[in-house]
Chains A and B, each alone.
Chain A
Amino acid sequence: MSSLSIEGVGRVFPPARRGGADTVALQPTDLQVADNDFITILGPSGCGKSTLLRIVAGLDQPSSGRVLMDGQPVGGPGPDRGMVFQSYSLFPWMTVRDNICFGLREKGLPKPQQKEISDYFLERVGLRQFADHFPKTLSGGMKQRTALARALANDPKVLLLDEPFGALDHQTRALMQELLLGIWESDQKTVLFVTHDIEEAIFLANRVVVMTARPGRIKCDIPIDMPHPRTYKVKTTQEFADHKARLTEEIRVETIRADAMAVSA
């Protein structure tokens, strides 16, 4: 029994002006997510991958189909599905520690427990010395580490990440990938990770789901069986290169299609 199940979820946006045509962002999509799966959703921009993630989070409503968490349909956002956004979404008036404690505070957890949990995650993302800093003083990588710790502190059943490292430079991004994978390997978590970076998708996942250009649908679902724990060194193995070659081809076709559609539209 999978904890998260996406059944025929589609999304149609109404026309922006009267008389216009509907925009089909996502064709009805099925996806079964097993416990402790790390699934990366890979696709060209505008393929509806973020829309799918937002529907799972409950931040957007599907036009058709439904999302089930432990057999219960998802109605709106909730703490069982934590999310990390691409843009920095830290609360700027709170210190790093207070940001991490936000969900715990909303839950009404006693202060000592909040401290204990935030201590653990501050340590986990390497920000112990920065606990009392405000977000504006942090680097981009530190901000996203805080956002990750904030989502994890709530102990969600599913962790949703929407291109969380997209705004970071290449080197920082590689370090963040290893940090996230390390946490997943030791703590175990069900993860949905949206990205358009092929290497990132392979390195992190045990399944890569490739989406087509708009209107988005799942094109293929590729298991990545490389052993854990993985370090950056797997990126230079033959197996990694083979996966990369195949996915590059799949994505290339879609990107060309998306490009052609953008011109004709």
Chain B
Amino acid sequence: MSKWFTPLKPVSSGRRITLGILGFVVVVALWWAVTASGLVKPLFLAGPGATLLAGYGLFFEFGFLGDVAVTVGRVLGGFLIATAVAVPLGIAMGAFKSVEAFFEPLISFARYLPASAFIPLLILWAGVGEAQKLSVIFIGAVFQICLMVAVIVGGTRAELVEAAYTLGARNRGVVLRVMLPAAAPQIFETLRLVLGWAWTYVIVAELIGASAGIGFMIIDAQRFLDTGQMIFGIFVIGVIGLVSDYLFKQLNRHLFSWAAS
């Protein structure tokens, strides 16, 4: 037993995969046990089989793929707009202390404004169309990215900056050709993290005033007390999150193979 619980002792990759799958199996088994035994009524929680069946129905009868596409589009759209604004601003804040002094208190404050609380206002301003959905994700992501990028860029190793200066680089060269590439891997890591959060915002945005999307489907299913569809919708979000996270990690590894791991 002690060989399983020696601190920091690595496990073989085979065992790691087995344990990872086992985690899912245990949860599904418990789920099945409490629903099949009648401990929890199907009205409150559909069993695994019923959930899969509901998923099948969603895809082949209700055009759920279209909902998924709509939601993915909203997440990517809002996230890309936020990135386009926040990354350059964050870099400027990290590099120039005066820019940071101007924006930092403002953005630190804005960061704590819950994106979901803006939804009523945004509906007033932008209606219930796509602009409102994108805005929620934008507000949820932009301040976070900005502050984290500023910290990363500000934390560039002083030796790299000093070396560049002694090699004849000017301020512009130091920012563009030293601080920016030095921070790039961590900036991408931050984007990966925030993309995960964007998924929670999009669902909240779709729960109110939407006519398509995964969040809309979940609310719609609630009206019919279809817990199977609701659970399946939540699962689909989890699976998409897992896949996008994996793709992001692969992209990082590919782009920044020079970075010491």
Residues of A that sit less than 8 Å from B by CB: 57-59, 76-79, 81-83, 85, 87-89, 91-94, 102-103, 106-107, 134-136, 147, 150-151, 154, 160
Contacts and interface: CB of A to CB of B under 8 A. Distances in A.
Contacts of A150: 163, 167
Nearest 5 Cβ contacts at the A-B interface: A79-B168, A103-B167, A77-B165, A89-B159, A83-B166
Contact of B258 (A77, A79, A103, A136): A136
B173 A93 contact: no
Interface residues of B, number: 23
A92 B259 contact: yes
Contacts of B259: 92-93, 136
A76 B170 CA distance: 11
A136 B260 contact: yes
A99 to B, nearest CB: 9
Contacts of B157: 89
A106 B173 contact: yes
Nearest to B185: A93
Nearest to B166: A83
A256 B257 CA distance: 48
A203 B157 CA distance: 32
Contact of A106 (B168, B181, B257): B168
A247 B155 CA distance: 40
A79 B164 contact: no
B181 A59 contact: no
Interface in B161-179: 162-170, 173, 177-178
Q: Would you call the interface of chain B mostly helix, strand, loop, or mixed?
A: helix
Given A79-B168, A106-B168, A106-B169, A93 B163 contact: no
Contacts of B168: 78-79, 103, 106-107, 154
Nearest to B170: A106
B147 interface: no
B167 A106 contact: yes
Contact of A76 (B163, B165, B182): B165
Given A91-B160, A92-B259, A151 B165 contact: no
B163 A83 contact: yes
28 contacts: A57-B166, A58-B165, A58-B166, A59-B162, A59-B166, A76-B165, A78-B165, A78-B168, A82-B166, A83-B163, A85-B159, A85-B163, A89-B162, A91-B181, A92-B259, A93-B184, A93-B259, A94-B258, A103-B167, A106-B167, A106-B168, A106-B177, A135-B258, A136-B259, A136-B260, A150-B167, A151-B166, A160-B166
Contacts of A57: 162, 166
Given A89-B159, A91-B160, A93-B184, 11 more contacts: A57-B166, A76-B165, A78-B165, A78-B166, A83-B162, A92-B260, A93-B182, A94-B258, A136-B258, A147-B163, A154-B168
Contacts of B260: 92, 136
Nearest to B256: A93
A127 to B, nearest CB: 17
B166, B169, B177, most chain A CB atoms within 10 A: B166
Given A89-B160, A92-B258, A136-B260, A79 B166 contact: yes
A88 B157 CA distance: 10
B259 to A, nearest CB: 7
A83 B158 CA distance: 14
